[in-house]
Amino acid sequence: MLSVANIDSYYARSQILHRVTADIPTGEITAVLGRNGVGKTTFLKTIMGLTDRMSGQITLDGKPLGTEPTFRRARAGIAYVPQGREIVPDFTVRENILMGAFAAPPGEREVPPLVGELFPYLRDNMNRHGGLLSGGQQQQLAIARALAAKPSILLLDEPTEGIQPNIVEEIENIIIRLNKELGLTIILVEQNLEFARRAGDNFVMMEKGRIVASGRMSDLTDDLIHRHLAV
């Protein structure tokens, strides 16, 4: 289990997260919900060690990670697909994927066969530059790059944002498949409530840098949605 306890997280002098505590069950999808600007992305970045500083505790299967650098968290099995994808446009598809493989165990730094199975377009266009791909194809590439690290936990920051509708459902189904068939633990930041409810086992609701509600997805009531998601 991944656990965070009493986390405060900062960019420079600005505190974004306030005393955040959550347990992320192994092998399940936990959806992180909330309006824009409430700290959802910072929650993922804090787990990955990408904010300027934090206090509190992060543990994975009882082992402390909160003081470890990002590369050690990646090698411990955590992979991150950022909002906006952040692929390298001048690198080929293969080169982008292999960037993620640096966090994989020695001897396993390769394009995983799973990538070709999940993403036929990427398999057939390994030498195409990342910058020439559509938004949906770049999202597939960002997920493939994360999978090259052979993770046990996948952090996904709004993976369907800004993607053409014909690819959105495909990416949603791949995310569910990664969890249900491969057993990946997934933390999913997602504005699409319908998808979050369909995919998620659990939810964490955030407001102003704090967790204000959490539980099984069946506990996500219309009242909680109205109070913390409605505009």
Query: How does residue 164 score in pLDDT terms, banded at 50, 70 and 90?
Result: confident
Query: Is the separation of the CB atoms in 28 and 179 below 8 Å?
Result: yes
Distance CA 159, CA 90 (A): 22
Report pLDDT digits (tens) over 166-188.
Answer: 889 999 999 999 999 999 999 99
**pLDDT at residue 231 in the model:** 64
What values do phi and psi take at 118, rounded to 5? Answer: -80, -35
Q: Using alpha carbons, select from 209, 205, 210, 211 the residue that is nearest to residue 230.
A: 205
Count of all residues that appear for the chain in the document: 231
Report pLDDT digits (tens) over 105-149.
Answer: 777 788 999 999 999 999 999 999 999 999 999 999 999 999 999
Report pLDDT digits (tens) over 59-85.
Answer: 999 999 999 999 999 999 999 999 988
**pLDDT at residue 104 in the model:** 85
Per CATH, the homologous superfamily of domain 76-194 is P-loop containing nucleotide triphosphate hydrolases (3.40.50.300)
